[in-house]
A and B are shown apart, each in its own frame.
Chain A
Amino acid sequence: MQTLRDLVRYSPSFRYGGIILLVVLLFLLLSFFSPYESDERRAVPRNEPPSVQHLMGTTSQGQDVFWMLTFAIRNTLIVAGLAVVIGRGIGVVLGMISGYLGGTWDRILSAIVDSFIVIPRLPLLILIAAMLRGQITLIGLGIMLGLLDWAFPSKRYRAQILSLRERDFTHTAVFSGMRTFKIVMREHLPFIIPFLLADVVSGFLFAIGMEVTLAILGLADMGSQSIGTMIYWGNYYQALLTNRVWVLAAPIAASIVVVVGFYLVSIGLTTYLDPRTRVVRLQVKN
């Protein structure tokens, strides 16, 4: 809690990023109030430019772009969220095992993780998605992305844990007889949590990027609305060539806003975590 207050007060990028993300969240929540179903076609007049009734215009399939966008944001974030939970979940567990057990276990796990990091993920992702074309659901996509993004996080968590293990306060705790679990919970968690937050944000960035990339290639869940699929369909129906820029502009703008929001938050978090600023902060507080 104290951390959050500090961040909001002293980090402009965290503040602005947070505001942007709140707006995004608002859009997400709006999707539950949409007067149209997400896959409804011909619900409104086609190919209308932005107006008061249809804030962002309509598509050639007769869909209101604004309400489509709310669904799109919701679905993209669901997919990304799922990917982050799975990916970071695996990463944290592996990193902690590696970090706390040490020795041969650590070396074997690290060798495996290192090999996975080097494998280019996008080609594999494209292959899997192409094979499953037409059968991918949002949940499936999220799981797939999560299963491919645990290697680098696990390395980082392992590094964090290794450094925490060697700190003086850990040795003190061990020497005074604290049990390992208690040490982890009480002493280490306060350091890990802000780190986790920053890492989660970068996980979101990766997952969102991948979802849109796959969707543009036509490999995501093309039935549901997502930021990527909106771009795909916009392209498919020749939005540019037929002078209907708003159909593409909306998801593109949304994509930028979401990504920038997350990015600003992550900058705020990482500056906060930077040991040099932390030292200054501690000095000042005392």
Chain B
Amino acid sequence: MTQAATNPKASAPIVKADALKAYYVTNAYGVERTVRAVDNISMSIAAGEIYGLAGESGCGKSTLLKVLLGEFQPPLTVVGGAVTYNFEGKEQDASAMTAEDYRRLRWSKVSYVPQGSMHVLNPVRRIQDTFHDFISTHRDVTKAESFKMTSDYLRDLGLPEKVMRSYPHQLSGGMRQRATIALATILFPKLIFADEPTTALDVVVQRGVIGLLKDIQQKEGSTVVLITHDLGVHANLADRIGVLYAGKLVEEAPTRTILKTPKHPYTQFLINSLPDFEERTVRETIPGRPPALDNPPPGCRFHPRCPLAIDVCSQVEPPMIEIAPKHRVACHLVTDVSTVKDSHASL
């Protein structure tokens, strides 16, 4: 997949989160509500890898991405922990960045491919002008130089020439998404966050987008942190996958491992719900619904829906423990020594 995983020089993680807690705190009509979207998450992402974040809607993936990006505005507040970047050996605390730091990092080093690119491009500006806007903010270029950069890059990515002078509404959905990806990566940033880049696109276009992301990653050796609920996309792209549930990281392992031998019951459910061309069996869904993040269940957040739950699951939060190289799980059944004999339990 990628070469970076074996490169010793890139051993310092390009971005890491330490015991990160980010909540939405709102106060309306005299009632205060706290939504614990990201609750004590620690992870580190190596340079040059493709890391996938998987989970249901409302599990906190988008929030995690926003915080990793350094995009937190009220009501989203970082209540605890830290996010640290590491570019060319220099560490930087994301929450301590000034506006000037933002401007230097954004787009040249850290970039973002948004979810739902239908309205991400300024509707009254031509694509080439929008590109110039973004480029000239971070590089000292003339309009002609921007246009050249843009047209070369778009051509490399397989987009037709006419895209340059078009307005966003004149492009098809797939072209718009690809143009947006191009816009996000035109300065060849080292760290790219992609939020559901393939959702709401038909499968043919999805393949094109996946291919595009792979291309970019391979050519520049960038790191990609990818969110999607579609495990198929993760299977195609990601080196490592982290599974989120109700604001917590429940399992993290290389893609093959997650797909073949998932350990956490939730992950097992997710994998088993994937359609399989060969077998024609009934797919099971997980009973119940994910918890509301303002009032999560005590102990392990998955325990109300978990068919294997035992007493300790409803009392004590399972810690994230490395059970094998690069494989971490947060589940009492898997990590508690006393229940190790049930660790082969699966569905």
Contact = CB atoms under 8 A, between A and B. Distances in A.
Q: Do chains A and B touch in the complex (CB under 8 A)?
A: yes
Interface of A: 10, 280-281, 283-284
Nearest to B294: A283
Nearest to B27: A284
B277 interface: no
A271 to B, nearest CB: 13
Most chain B CB atoms below 10 A, which of A10, A280, A284: A284
B27 to A, nearest CB: 10
A10 B29 CA distance: 7
Interface residues of B, number: 5
A280 B26 CA distance: 10
Contacts of B26: 280
B347 interface: no
Nearest to B30: A284
A284 B33 CA distance: 9
A15 to B, nearest CB: 15
Nearest to A285: B29
Contacts of B31: 284
Nearest to B32: A284
Contacts of B33: 283-284
A283 B31 CA distance: 10
B28 interface: yes
Contacts of B29: 10, 280-281, 284
Contacts of A283: 33
Nearest to A277: B28
Interface of B: 26, 28-29, 31, 33
Contacts of A10: 29
A184 to B, nearest CB: 30
Most chain A CB atoms below 10 A, which of B26, B29, B33: B29
11 contacts: A10-B29, A280-B26, A280-B28, A280-B29, A281-B28, A281-B29, A283-B33, A284-B28, A284-B29, A284-B31, A284-B33
A64 B33 CA distance: 58
Contacts of A284: 28-29, 31, 33
B36 to A, nearest CB: 16
Given A280-B28, A281-B29, A284-B31, 4 more contacts: A10-B29, A280-B26, A284-B28, A284-B33
A37 to B, nearest CB: 51
Contacts of B28: 280-281, 284
Contacts of A281: 28-29
The 4 A-B pairs of least Cβ separation, nearest first, read A284-B31, A284-B29, A280-B28, A284-B28
A25 B307 CA distance: 67
A283 B28 CA distance: 10
A286 to B, nearest CB: 10
A98 to B, nearest CB: 30
A69 B26 CA distance: 48
A10 B31 CA distance: 13
Nearest to B26: A280
A211 to B, nearest CB: 39
A90 B29 CA distance: 37
A27 to B, nearest CB: 34
A281 B33 CA distance: 12
Nearest to A10: B29
A281 B28 CA distance: 8
A283 B33 CA distance: 10
B245 to A, nearest CB: 23
A280 B31 CA distance: 10
A116 B239 CA distance: 64
A3 to B, nearest CB: 14
A216 B308 CA distance: 82
Nearest to B29: A284
A6 to B, nearest CB: 9
A10 B30 CA distance: 10
A284 B26 CA distance: 10
A222 to B, nearest CB: 50
A284 B32 CA distance: 9
A103 B150 CA distance: 48
A106 B174 CA distance: 36
A283 B29 CA distance: 10
A52 B68 CA distance: 72
A283 B294 CA distance: 12
A280 B29 CA distance: 9
A167 B147 CA distance: 47
Nearest to B31: A284
A16 B26 CA distance: 27
Nearest to B28: A280
Contacts of A280: 26, 28-29
B301 to A, nearest CB: 21
Most chain B CB atoms below 10 A, which of A10, A281, A283: A283
